[in-house]
Amino acid sequence: MADEQIEELPAEGAAVAGGGGNPWIPVIVILIMLPVLSFAMTEFVLIPKIKTAVGADKTAPGNHTGEGHGKGHGDGDAKAGKVMTQYAFDDIVANLSGSMQSRYVKVSFTVEGDDPNFEALMDANKVKMVDITLGVLNSLSMRDLEQPGIKNIVRNDLLSAFHTLMKKKVIHQIYFTAFVVQ
């Protein structure tokens, strides 16, 4: 009976079924595959999507290409192949916020766009645009004007307000010709 209860042990060189293998192999595979997958996704999926989005923005409706667009203050933009038209706003003076009307800011700027009717649009909306400009400038304080890059902040605020007024992106850039604080 004792002979029947003794189990035979496997030989020393034989592996036990289901419990062998190196536990580091999956870790090594993951450490190698993650950077490869990240590179492949970036190179072949994300970058092409970004390029098509940027390309679609350049060819969006409302951007007109061709020769002969714009009259009056027109300057050619050789890079984009578009003719840009400029329109000037001179000597806009506004009181600064919180200064008891003793401090003011005076700006002159030129707006630029490539719409074929750009000058007519600017003439038709000039009073509204000056009013919007006064509103943006009146909201500034002396503390605001001491910030670095305030001209860019004002430029972006004006662009945003003008786009809201026009209900489309007519103005592509604003160039300050004067920005004086007194």
Can you tell me the distance from the alpha carbon of 171 to that of 132, in angstroms, rounded to the nearest whole number? 14
Residues 6+ away with beta carbon under 8 Å from 139:
97
Measuring CA to CA, which residue among 108, 179, 109 is closest to residue 150?
179
Instruction: Identify the pLDDT of residue 11.
Output: 59
**2 compared with 136, residue with greater pLDDT:** 136
Instruction: Identify the pLDDT of residue 182.
Output: 83
Buried-state track 135-161, b at ≥16 Cβ within 10 A, e below 16: ebbeebeeeebeeeeeeeebbebbbeb
The per-residue pLDDT for range 6-18, each reduced to its tens digit, is 666 555 555 555 5
pTM of the model: 0.54
- Angle formed by the axes of helices 118-138 and 150-166, nearest 10°: 130
The per-residue pLDDT for range 138-181, each reduced to its tens digit, is 988 888 888 888 899 999 999 999 999 988 888 999 999 998 88
Region 98-119: mean pLDDT is 87
Q: Sheet harboring 173-181: ordered strands across?
A: 74-77, 82-95, 104-113, 173-181
pLDDT of 106 higher than 60: yes
The per-residue pLDDT for range 40-98, each reduced to its tens digit, is 999 998 888 888 888 766 555 444 433 333 334 444 444 456 788 899 999 999 988 87
Instruction: Identify the pLDDT of residue 23.
Output: 86
SS3 category, 149: coil
Residues 6+ away with beta carbon under 8 Å from 32:
none
Tokens 């809201």 sit at which residue? 164
Confirm if 111 and 162 have CB atoms less than 8 A apart.
yes
